[in-house]
Chains A and B, each alone.
Chain A
């Protein structure tokens, strides 16, 4: 329970605060439109549908303001940087920005649906009022036109030959109607192209259609300019409760001058102008970063089509476990893709390992393969670094690092950094021993990582520090072919799959055995366990850490760190 509070407490509180604000806005504006005297006559024409349309509108204003903020990653980096001293938990929560963006998007979709349905009802009833279907008061109110000493209440001013088409005609000729249709359509297209199936398989469609948000925001700002939600402006002179029964006497008796109406001022721009400016600044910053020169130090194509890029950029400072966004205009002008960095901060360059995983990566690998020896690669824009650094790793005397599948990538950076710090006897590094567990279905596309382990293995042997790093590779997707190979090469010193001294294990690790071994080899130590992998494995490891820890200071203590790389 305590673990849940530490890991999920802050986002849970944020969501609670957000829902409270939404509920408050909805109820406040609902009551305003449902109770205020100014809207008495408007309510007579529209009933409670008026309040049902305006309350979601307020919630929509709030959420459209919020939706742009979580995707301003440079702004978030800035905020994260200012939390340097305390609250690592705060900094980690800013990484959950995309989840919040989606939550706000769902709320926008829901409120749009309520708002649209309420306005459909409104338009139908306004149409009926104009045609005299309802009582005397409604007809009298609808007859008020914008001429002489009258101001209109019912925005449907003229009677059409075909009354069924009046609402459609109004929708497509008024500012509110036309912008409403356009922005709802944009919203629907954005949502259907953002479904997980489309996003994961055809990222380009998702990304390009998502830019319809520009149309959405422009339409949203102009949506209220028609000022068609009308309220009575002379309630002091004309008391509706008294005058509602005497529509024939309006303008003829002193108590009831003709009621005057005015439209509500467009409010949306006040909500969204701030975030729109911030977002524009964000895009400008990304552009500036993109224009900054990036040099290629080395380009390596590893087996299984893995591309390693070693790059240099002036003023670039990274920490372990962070990621960057790359943009290659020769492949695609608009797309930025994230990659975890695999180099250590101690090196004078930063590197990424890129696997073939879609159109963009395939084209990049292709372009690099066609380059002549020693040439510079195509222009590359780099945005970042982003993400919380995983500095906790250096604080433990003994570390258990567990990387599953693609989760092994941040550990490349971490292990290199630990090794550099160890060689230079960095006082910040308290680690004396590392246990590294690498779980993957197949080593395809990870041979470069095996190479890294080989290099580390060799360097440690040279300094007689073979004990510093113990690593185990678990191949969970073995088959008959593997077994045959192992049988044939049984006697050899190095492993047949990785070429490393420590042999590959097959199947999933027996965590009880592993934790027992660590406990035996490190009595009276504090062990930090770090995982980059699936949530199911996180649960298992958490239980094991609890099981094998002992309060007794002479015995081992395990701390599980749920890191989100």
Chain B
């Protein structure tokens, strides 16, 4: 498994864990379970993890595929600078976030999934990976040459009028082949 960037899988796992934590929390609160306070915490933690993990990082090698509409999330996550860039921070953050989920059955699955995501992030951090925002590329156009800006002063060179007039008699030679159909019946 030479070229794997563990962060890519950690990201998928953490996003899934966030959703599961959120779902478990909703069930706990809606069903008014014993320990529903932990469930309401799980809802908040789940939403936070989803927002943090939604923007995919730019890959070190290869093309990065964005998630739909992730640009605004990228900007928010980028604003926190080194805290969100560093995967050690993320690993410990997820480990800390997942602990309260372990006190109630409805949220325990989210807790374990987030714990696993935290371990994968730790592996990513140990391999020196970090989060890079995917930003839209600005295409640099080649600078326009000076000569284009001023229009030509003289008309283009033409053959003398005698040669030009001959074309009216030679209809066959004057016609040219259209590469695309110019008639209407398509």
Report the bound CA distance from A124 to B39 in whole Å: 13
Bound: A189/B120 CA distance, A: 12
* A359 CB contacts on chain B under 8 angstroms: 1-3
Tell whether, in the assembled complex, residue A121 and residue B104 are in contact, meaning their CB atoms are under 8 Å apart: no
Q: Is B48 an interface residue (CB 8 A)?
A: no
- Say whether A512 contacts B180, CB under 8 Å: yes
Inter-chain contact B13/A201, CB cutoff 8 Å:
no
In the bound complex, how far is the Cα of B103 from the Cα of A165, in angstroms?
7
Query: Whole-angstrom distance from the CB of B64 to the nearest CB of chain A?
Result: 9
Whether B179 is near chain A, meaning CB under 8 Å from some CB there, is: yes
Distance (Å) between the CB of B98 and the closest chain A CB? 13
Select one of B12, B13, B16 contacting A197, CB under 8 A.
B12
**Shortest Cβ distance from residue A273 to the other chain B in the assembled complex, whole angstroms:** 28
Bound Cα distance A131, B179 (Å): 86
Are B4 and A188 in contact, with the CB atoms below 8 A?
A: no
Q: A168-B105, A184-B109 are in contact. Are A120 and B9 (CB under 8 A)?
A: no
- Nearest Cβ on chain B to A123's Cβ, whole angstroms: 6
Contact B8 A164 (CB under 8 A): no
Alpha-carbon gap, A164 to B102, bound state (A): 12
Q: Which of A116, A167, A188, A513 contacts B16 (CB 8 A)?
A: A188
A residues within 8 A CB of B1?
Answer: 202, 204-205, 359
Beta-carbon contacts of A179-220 to B below 8 Å, as 1s and 0s?
001001100110111010110011011000000000000000
- Judge if B136 is at the interface, Cβ distance under 8 Å: no
Interface size on A, residues (CB 8 A): 34
Interface flag for A171 (CB, 8 Å): yes
A388 interface residue, CB < 8 Å from B? no
Cβ-defined contact, A192 with B105, below 8 A: no
B27 near A121 (CB under 8 angstroms)? yes
What sequence of 0s and 1s flags, for each residue 496-518 of chain A, a beta carbon within 8 Å of any chain B beta carbon? 00000000000000101100000
Residue of B nearest to A359 (CB): B2
CB contacts (< 8 Å) of A164 on chain B: these are: 34-35, 103-104
Q: What's the minimum C-beta distance from A228 to chain B, rounded to whole angstroms?
A: 15
Q: Are A185 and B112 neighbours in the complex by a CB distance under 8 Å?
A: yes
Q: Chain B residues near A510 (CB, 8 Å)?
A: 179-180
Closest B residue to A512 using CB positions: B181
The answer, yes or no, to whether A465 is at the interface (CB within 8 Å) is: no
Q: In the assembly, what is the distance between CA of A510 and CA of B1, in Å? A: 44
B33 within 8 A of A: yes
From B8, B28, B112, give the contact of A201 (CB < 8 A): B8
Q: Are A167 and B4 in contact (CB under 8 A)?
A: no
Q: Are B34 and A124 in contact (CB under 8 A)?
A: yes
Of A167, A201, A202, A204, which one neighbours B105 at CB under 8 angstroms? A167
Q: A117-B27, A164-B104, A512-B181 are in contact. Are A198 and B34 (CB under 8 A)?
A: no
Verify if A127 is at the interface (C-beta below 8 Å from B): yes
- A195-B108 Cα distance, complex, nearest whole Å: 24
Q: What are the 9 A-B residue pairs with the smallest beta carbon separation, nearest first?
A: A167-B105, A202-B4, A192-B12, A164-B35, A164-B34, A192-B13, A168-B105, A204-B1, A124-B33
Instruction: Using A124-B34, A165-B103 as known contacts, list a sample of 9 further A-B pairs with CB atoms less than 8 Å apart, ordered by residue number in A.
Output: A113-B23, A116-B109, A120-B33, A124-B33, A168-B103, A188-B16, A192-B13, A193-B12, A198-B12
